[in-house]
Amino acid sequence: MAACNFSVSFKGKIDQILDKVKEKAKKDDVEFKGDTDGGTFHVRKPDIRGSYAVKGQKVNFSIADHPWYASCDAIESKVNDFFRGL
């Protein structure tokens, strides 16, 4: 599958947001490795792998691998929902 690239804006301090992301990722069985500059993640169901980079008040995502039935738009929507739920 082709890579998906998108950005999510956030308010607040990235270190506090990442603490919440790590906590939620652990509960949702998502492998998350990273810091306030960037990192990687792996969602197990469905199998989605990607990376992120923090630039100012935005997180830039690059989804390197995802199943054919998980469109880039659907993945971006889920990521946005995830951040809204923090």
* Spatial contact of 51 and 40, defined as CB atoms under 8 Å apart: yes
Res 84: pLDDT: 83
Predicted confidence pLDDT, tens digits, the chain (86 residues): 678 999 999 989 999 999 999 999 999 889 999 999 999 999 998 999 999 999 999 999 999 999 999 999 999 999 998 888 77
Query: Structural domains in the chain?
Result: 4-84 (3.30.310)
* Spatial contact of 64 and 3, defined as CB atoms under 8 Å apart: yes
As a whole number of angstroms, the distance between CA 68 and CA 72 comes to 10
Res 82: pLDDT: 84
Predicted TM-score (pTM) of this structure: 0.90
As a whole number of angstroms, the distance between CA 5 and CA 73 comes to 10
